[in-house]
Structure 1
Amino acid sequence: MGEERTLEERLVIVKEEGDEELDLKKRVWEETKKIWIVAFPGMLSRASNFGMVIIAQVFIGHVSALDLAAFALVQSLTLRFINGILIGMSSATETLCGQAFGAGQHHMMGIYLQRSWIVNLITVTLLTPLFIFSAPIFIGLGQDKDVSIASETMSLWLIPLMYLLVFSFTIQMYLQAQLKNKIVAWLSIASVIVQIFFSWIFVFKLDFGTYGALGSFILSNIAVVLSEFIYIFCGGCPLSWKGFSLDAFSQLWPVIKLSVSSGIMLCLEVWYNSILILIAGYMKNATVAIAAFSICLNVSVFEFMICLGFLGAACVRVANELGRGDAKSIKFSIKVNLATSLIFGIVFFTLCLVFGNKIGYLFTSDEDVINMVSELSILLAVTMFSNSIQPVLTGIVVGAGLQSVVAIINLVCYYVIGIPIGLLLGFCTDLQVRGVWIGMICGTITQIICLSIMIWRTNWDDQVEKASQRISRWSKPDESS
């Protein structure tokens, strides 16, 4: 009888282990679905948005090598500089809206959105002189005079784009926090198709050249923003959009603080790439160096924009669960999100190694630029892999509202480690542009290590309590209910 009981006990143990395994698979599948609900539309919209920049660069590159270098300078320095500020500051919208949605405070999401508009519009207005005086700024930084002068008109054309991006970024994060970002994805894809069509008409048929490509770029962004407004104002978000409110002008200081810390966090990362482009301008044959480095960087950023879908998913999932008060679900979501993103990184790493010597032909017919792009392809592949890890880690801390700590990490990893190594290898060895890129990789890998340690040591129960206090302090009753 004792042996029979032992056998029964063993069968029970096996059954329990099987049930646990099935339960784990079910939990992974459910979490994966939640991640992809946010990540996939985010990937489409981010990739489409950045694809619009690449499309403009492609058409300009087939007009003039000088214009290509000028656009690369404006896009890689000024545009990316301000773009980083806006994306970073808009991530405050994602944090606040995500936690409000998780806590069931839907009516506060529209107010948070309007507060972000106020803060970001003021910021853009203060930064417009960077576009107006771009030529003397570039010349003062030691960039090629012809390239700097050619970039002046392009900079003026892009001023309206900055104001459009204020609404585009904040609305996207507002919709994403409530799992309504599919509309943004489809609008972004449609805008890419529109841009390609009008660019072909303006550049090749009407012979408007570079200005035709820039005009198509701006018109496509206008179409996206107008469509987003129509969606929100015409009942697309009945629970979270209650119309314009004077409450948007109250409690601005906490939003400013979170927005500024968010902006600094991401800007230190985006500016890092911009400074590397600036360094490339001091290399031998600066025009080729800037063009090649910019092409590789844009390919890297394009993949990074896809992986930002996982950043958005990590941010939304962490913020939602913080709002609900579930620390265990946060930890589980982090593991599933990171594993999924790593698979993407391996795929892009492999593709870049296989097709690295063909990338340059997509952007230019200049053989010198194409050859330099080919030389950078291996380093580009390594960057592609790291791009799959870093956004998820950043999304986790953004969802928790820990942007100020990450800003310090970014400052040290990029500016104390990455740039000095890039300068040393770029100017003190024969590596030139490759040395600068190696420095960039060193900074990114150090950042990944630091963020991983930070997240591993975070007490998520404490973060749940802090999120609850923040929601209670900044919220107001829903008067419409």
Structure 2
Amino acid sequence: METEEELHQPFLSSTHDDRSSHATDSRLEEVLSDTTVPFSKRLLSATWIELKLLFPLAGPAIIVYVINNLMSFVTRAFAGHLGNLELAAANLGNSGIQLLAYGLMLGMGSAVETLCGQAYGANKHEMLGVYMQRAIIVLVVTGIPLTVAYIFCEPILLLLGEPPELASVAKVFVYGLIPQIYAYAVNFPIQKFLQAQSVVAPSTYISGATLLLHVLLSWVVVYWLKIGLIGSSLTLSLSWWIIVVAQFLYIVLAPRFKRTWTGLSIEALSGLWAFVKLSAASAVMLCLETWYFQVLVLITGLLDNPQLSLDSIAVCMSIAGLMLNISIGFNAAVSVRVSNELGAGHPKSAAFSVIVVNMISFIISVIEAVLVLALRRVLSYAFTDGETVANAVSDLCPYLAVTLILNGIQPVLSGVAVGCGWQATVAYVNVGCYYLIGVPLGCILGFNFGLGVQGIWSGMIGGTMLQTLILLWITLRTDWDKEVSTTKERLEKWDHKKQAKVES
């Protein structure tokens, strides 16, 4: 029987270089299973162990996502110094074109998060490198049609009703982002490969250093070399490639990955179709979530005299987007925790991790909502000096507060889905709740009942709430012992393909 002090020493505190020597720690499962210890003591010990595992994952992940957003923000800020037209073009290229590729690639990359996390938990270390390479191949191929879309972005933007002059300038900005597509294709599998092994701090350091370099390079390109708008977007692409190369070199050179990265493997070419299907389900799941609130903005633009509504909702969406990075960090953390524990055959630990992460994220989201309501009269002044906009933002803050609370739960439940491999199920749930219920309900309330942006947002909140309740119901009804068996079968299936390829 371990002492209380030993129980409070999580495996992440190990400084041994070969972190792959053990995929996950069994102490949490042992604590939860030991009925000889009083329940309150077991709960306290288990919570302490889980928190010590959780925050070293969630904290750096949150920082990485914030830094990624800041790089795009810096690029648009420098574009703004070229002129108002260039700023509008950069914003249009970012929100209209770049986010499509980002959401698609990140979504497809979450497939490797499921497989790598479960394989690492099951001590199938050599498969992590194979899964990562398979993901890179699939994402690079996916980048080809995206490249075509980037090339023909001007007619696409014109078809969407954008002004010809703006679409023409936005085209220049988007052309410079074409190399970024393939940086995404390599980066996200590498990122998930690292996260599956609870190695997240190095990515934070690399991203932070690259952000500083990106600011310097953007200044040189825009002010010194005077390359203009395409120079600013090419600089963003270059910065993403710097992150990719630095992370890959870290994997190749660090001794801790000697079991999970064994070099390029021909096995990466096997089982690609099965990987494509899992990746497609992951992409649909994430993209439907990413686009949902973009649809809110687009519908708001159809209101009579939409300028004030768009200004106020832009402020609220900026705040929601900033806060969402916290939930996305917990999304990544719970995905790693659940997949690792399932792969290791620890059903109680997986279930307990889901409970703890949801509670922590929910508490943080409630604090965010309270702050938003307390500061509702002054929030908009961080973005604009207009009193009219400030009053409109104040009216929308209750809707923003509810959205923040839902965003504290829903992304975590989506992370559980990724950890378990439920992406296809969640994709169907998202289609029904978001686009068959949320969007139509918002349009009815906003236009038919004359409630404007409040009605549109209310409908969208209804869709999100229904989706959250369904995911919560699915999670609460989960048989975690069965999930362990399913994970074992999935890993044996993929390993079987690997062995069959070797034998042939």
> Which residue of 439, 442, 445 maps to 1:422?
442
Tell me if 1:54 matches 2:73.
Answer: yes
Contact kept, 8 Å, 1:135 with 1:149, in 2: the verdict is yes
Q: Any conservation in 1 of the 2:441–2:456 contact (CA below 8 Å)? A: yes
Question: Which residue, 483, 486, 491 being the options, matches 1:463?
Answer: 483
What are the Cα deviations for residues 276-299 of structure 1, in whole angstroms up to 9, with x where unaligned? 333344345667766664554343
Q: Is the 8 A contact 1:76 1:277 kept in 2?
A: no
Corresponding residue for 1:389? 409
What SS does the corresponding residue of 1:142 show, helix, strand or coil? coil
- Corresponding residue for 2:237? 218
Mapped contact 1:69–1:287 kept (Cα < 8 A): no
Structure 2 Cα separation of the partners of residues 146 and 285 of structure 1: 23
Q: 2:176 aligns with which of 149, 157, 161?
A: 157
Tell me if structure 1 keeps the 8 A contact 2:406–2:465. Answer: yes
Identity of aligned residues (%): 38
1:43-442 equivalences in 2 (<5 Å)? 43-61=62-80, 64-200=83-219, 202-203=221-222, 210-211=229-230, 213-235=232-254, 237-284=257-304, 293-294=313-314, 296-356=316-376, 376-428=396-448, 430-442=450-462
CA separation of 1:171/1:362 partners in 2, compared to 1, >3 Å: closer, same or farther? farther
- Asked whether the 8 Å contact 1:99–1:320 carries over to 2, the reply is yes
Three-state SS of the structure 2 residue aligned to 1:191 is helix
Moved more, 392-401 or 358-367: 358-367
Between 131-140 and 456-465, report the one with greater CA deviation: 131-140
Q: Who is 2:470 aligned against?
A: 450
Q: 1:201 to 1:373 in 2, by over 3 A?
A: farther
Deviates more, 1:99-108 or 1:350-359: 350-359
Q: List per-residue Cα deviations over 1:292-340 (Å, max 9, x = no partner).
A: 6455434322322221111111111111111111211111111111111
Deviations 1:60-98 (A, max 9, x none): 456544444433333223222222111111010100000
Contact kept, 8 Å, 1:144 with 1:281, in 2: the verdict is: no
The residue identity in structure 1 corresponding to 2:254 is G
Measured in 2, the distance between the counterparts of 1:177 and 1:207 equals 42
Using the alignment, how far apart are the partners of 2:478 and 2:38 within structure 1?
Answer: 31
- Flag the 1:345–1:134 CA change in 2: closer, same or farther, 3 A: same
Do the aligned partners of residues 473 and 264 (structure 1) sit closer, same or farther apart at CA in structure 2, a change above 3 Å counting?
A: same
Q: Which moved more, 1:125-134 or 1:172-181?
A: 125-134
- Distance of 2:383 and 2:86 partners within structure 1: 13
How far apart are residue 345 of structure 1 and its match? 0.7
* Aligned residues between the structures: 464
Worse-superposed segment, 406-415 or 198-207: 198-207
Q: Is the 8 A contact 1:72 1:291 kept in 2?
A: no
- Paired amino acid for 1:424: I
Equivalent residue, structure 2, for 1:10: none
CA distance in structure 1 between the aligned counterparts of 2:374 and 2:287, rounded to whole angstroms: 32
- Matched residue type, 1:194: L
Q: Is the 8 A contact 1:50 1:305 kept in 2?
A: no
2:53 counterpart residue number: 34
**Alpha-carbon contact 2:177-2:236 (below 8 Å) kept:** no
Q: 1:199 to 1:292 in 2, by over 3 A?
A: farther
Shift of 1:138: 2.2
Bigger shift: 350-359 or 35-44? 350-359
Change in Cα spacing, 1:314 to 1:446, as seen in structure 2 (3 Å) is: same
Tell me the CA shift for residue 188 of structure 1: 1.5
CA contact (8 A) 2:172 2:229 kept: no
- Mapped partners of 1:287, 1:450: distance in 2: 35
Per the alignment, do residues 61 and 176 of structure 1 end up closer, same or farther by CA in structure 2, a change over 3 Å counting? same
- Measure the CA separation in 2 of the matches of 1:62 and 1:205: 13
Change (3 A) 1:380 1:404: same
1:77 and 1:277 in contact (8 A); partners too: no
For structure 2, list consecutive stretches of 5 or more residues without a partner in the other structure. Answer: 1-34
Distance of 2:224 and 2:391 partners within structure 1: 30
Answer yes or no: is the 8 Å Cα contact 1:77–1:275 preserved in 2.
Answer: no
Contact 1:318/1:399, CA 8 A, preserved across alignment: yes
2:177 touches 2:234 (CA, 8 Å); kept in 1?
A: no
Note closer, same or farther for the CA distance 1:352–1:188 as it changes in structure 2 (3 Å cut). Answer: farther
* Structure 2 CA distance for aligned equivalents of residues 382 and 212 of structure 1: 40
Q: Distance in 1 between matches of 2:65 and 2:203?
A: 9
TM-score (norm. length: structure 1): 0.87
Distance 1:25 1:472, change over 3 A: same
